Structure 1
Amino acid sequence: MVEVEPERFEEMVTEALDGLPDELGELMSNVAVTVQHEAGPRGLRGLYRGIPLTRRSNFYAGALPDQITIYHRAICAMCNSEAEVVEQVRRTVIHEVGHHFGIGDARLRQLGW
């Protein structure tokens, strides 16, 4: 396990989001990304809650934002260096953003995420 200060971890999440291709960032809609500094649910490094873009219809108007949560302690617990944390944060952010675009876990695993 590696210790990463909360502020630095949040910077890593911001950097991962900023590293997404501009085309994807422009397509993201009504989604909030947050960091939970506790471990979160067992076995999870991140969690997407919401209605994926592919399932939204005319009835979606006025919905609360989707939420992507990145779990600080869970990620740090599996890493041995800050560089590993940076890479795991990037992978987790991409995985959860994939869910926002309607991509399921099985397909994300096939794609290497």
Structure 2
Amino acid sequence: MAFLMDDDAFEDAVSRALDDIPSRLRDVMDNVVIFIENRYEPGPDEDPDTVLLGLYDGVPLTERGMDWGEVAMPDRIFIYQEPILEMCESEEEVVDEVAITVVHEVAHHFGIDDATLHELGWG
């Protein structure tokens, strides 16, 4: 059964997860914005049943060249509220899943792929 949590409490969980990222990493996050959305909407070429908890959309720091400039659009990290709430049964589970999802997507910003995240126990 899905856990019911209001939008403000969910946003607070995301903020706390971001605050828990070590400052030495937060300080080098560059040109990235975090969004909370209700649900991922698959594109026309994707499986319509695709369910994501989070998504990183951008160019990882490890792939940016010397010509990466200030005119680049910000990278975007999306955290999808509804599927996280649907898989959790308590506030503690929501907070834990949000933290895992935030770390996972921030790791992509730093160029860490899914396979490495799984090896590190984050997948």
TM-score range, shorter chain: over 0.9
Whether 2:104 is the aligned partner of 1:95: answer: yes
Separation in structure 2 between the aligned mates of residue 59 and residue 4 of structure 1, nearest angstrom: 43
Residue 40 of structure 1 corresponds to: 40
Matches within 5 A, 1:1-113: 1-36=2-37, 38-41=38-41, 42-61=50-69, 62-113=71-122
Separation in structure 1 between the aligned mates of residue 73 and residue 39 of structure 2, nearest angstrom: 25
Which letter does structure 2 place at the counterpart of 1:103?
I
Superposed displacement of residue 40, structure 1:
1.5
Q: Secondary structure at the match of 1:60?
A: coil
* TM-score in terms of structure 1 length: 0.96
* TM-score in terms of structure 2 length: 0.88
Query: RMSD in angstroms over aligned alpha carbons?
Result: 0.8
Superposed displacement of residue 59, structure 1:
2.6
**In the comparison of the two structures, how many residue pairs are matched?**
112
Separation in structure 1 between the aligned mates of residue 101 and residue 27 of structure 2, nearest angstrom: 19
Q: Which of structures 1 and 2 has the bigger CA Rg?
A: 2
Q: Which consecutive unaligned segments of at least 5 residues does structure 1 have?
A: none
Once the two structures are superposed, residues 15-55 of structure 1 have per-residue CA deviations (whole angstroms, 9 ceiling, x without a partner) of 0000110100011000001100x222422100000000000
Q: Secondary structure at the match of 2:27?
A: helix
Separation in structure 1 between the aligned mates of residue 84 and residue 111 of structure 2, nearest angstrom: 23
Higher percent of residues as helix: 1
- Out of 23-32 and 55-64, give the one that drifted further: 55-64
Q: Which runs of 4+ in 1 moved over 3 A?
A: none
